[in-house]
Amino acid sequence: MAESHLRSIVKAVTWRAGGTVVTFLVVFTVTGKFELAAQIGMLDTAVKLGAFYAHERIWNRLNLGKHKLPEYQI
Protein backbone atom coordinates (compact mmCIF):
# COMPACT_ATOMS: atom_id res chain seq x y z
CA MET A 1 0.00 0.00 0.00
CA ALA A 2 1.47 3.35 -1.03
CA GLU A 3 1.04 6.54 0.93
CA SER A 4 -1.09 9.29 -0.56
CA HIS A 5 0.20 12.80 -1.11
CA LEU A 6 -2.21 14.03 1.58
CA ARG A 7 -0.81 11.59 4.14
CA SER A 8 2.74 12.72 3.35
CA ILE A 9 1.71 16.36 3.70
CA VAL A 10 -0.04 15.80 7.04
CA LYS A 11 2.95 13.86 8.37
CA ALA A 12 5.31 16.63 7.28
CA VAL A 13 3.20 19.38 8.84
CA THR A 14 2.79 17.64 12.21
CA TRP A 15 6.47 16.71 12.36
CA ARG A 16 7.55 20.25 11.56
CA ALA A 17 5.18 21.76 14.12
CA GLY A 18 7.17 20.00 16.81
CA GLY A 19 10.44 20.90 15.12
CA THR A 20 9.47 24.56 14.97
CA VAL A 21 8.85 24.67 18.70
CA VAL A 22 12.23 23.06 19.37
CA THR A 23 14.05 25.44 16.98
CA PHE A 24 12.29 28.46 18.51
CA LEU A 25 13.20 27.39 22.05
CA VAL A 26 16.84 26.77 21.17
CA VAL A 27 17.27 30.12 19.40
CA PHE A 28 15.40 31.99 22.14
CA THR A 29 17.49 30.31 24.84
CA VAL A 30 20.75 31.18 23.07
CA THR A 31 19.88 34.74 21.98
CA GLY A 32 17.11 35.82 24.34
CA LYS A 33 15.43 37.49 21.33
CA PHE A 34 11.82 36.47 20.78
CA GLU A 35 11.44 38.04 17.31
CA LEU A 36 14.67 36.51 15.99
CA ALA A 37 13.69 33.10 17.38
CA ALA A 38 10.28 33.34 15.69
CA GLN A 39 11.80 34.38 12.34
CA ILE A 40 14.36 31.59 12.38
CA GLY A 41 11.72 29.09 13.47
CA MET A 42 9.44 30.01 10.58
CA LEU A 43 12.23 30.00 7.97
CA ASP A 44 13.47 26.66 9.29
CA THR A 45 9.94 25.28 9.06
CA ALA A 46 9.39 26.40 5.48
CA VAL A 47 12.66 24.90 4.25
CA LYS A 48 12.41 21.64 6.17
CA LEU A 49 8.73 21.11 5.37
CA GLY A 50 9.54 21.04 1.67
CA ALA A 51 12.59 18.85 2.22
CA PHE A 52 10.63 16.36 4.33
CA TYR A 53 7.83 16.12 1.77
CA ALA A 54 10.34 15.46 -1.03
CA HIS A 55 12.11 12.89 1.14
CA GLU A 56 8.83 11.06 1.83
CA ARG A 57 7.84 10.97 -1.82
CA ILE A 58 11.26 9.68 -2.90
CA TRP A 59 11.16 6.92 -0.27
CA ASN A 60 7.64 6.02 -1.32
CA ARG A 61 8.99 5.23 -4.81
CA LEU A 62 11.71 2.94 -3.49
CA ASN A 63 11.03 -0.73 -2.94
CA LEU A 64 13.58 -1.10 -0.15
CA GLY A 65 11.93 -2.94 2.74
CA LYS A 66 8.53 -3.22 1.05
CA HIS A 67 6.79 -6.54 0.69
CA LYS A 68 4.34 -7.23 -2.08
CA LEU A 69 1.02 -8.40 -0.67
CA PRO A 70 -0.71 -11.34 -2.32
CA GLU A 71 -3.48 -10.41 -4.73
CA TYR A 72 -5.89 -12.46 -2.66
CA GLN A 73 -6.17 -14.03 0.74
CA ILE A 74 -8.16 -16.99 1.90
Residue 40 is predicted with a pLDDT of 96
Percent of the chain with pLDDT over 70: 99
Residues 6+ apart with CB under 8 A from 5: 57
Please state the domain extents for the chain: 32-61
The model's pTM: 0.62
Asked if 28 and 37 touch (Cβ cutoff 8 Å), the reply is yes
pLDDT tens digits, one per residue of 16-47: 889 999 999 999 999 999 999 999 999 998 89
Dihedral sign for Cα atoms in the order 62, 11, 26, 32? positive
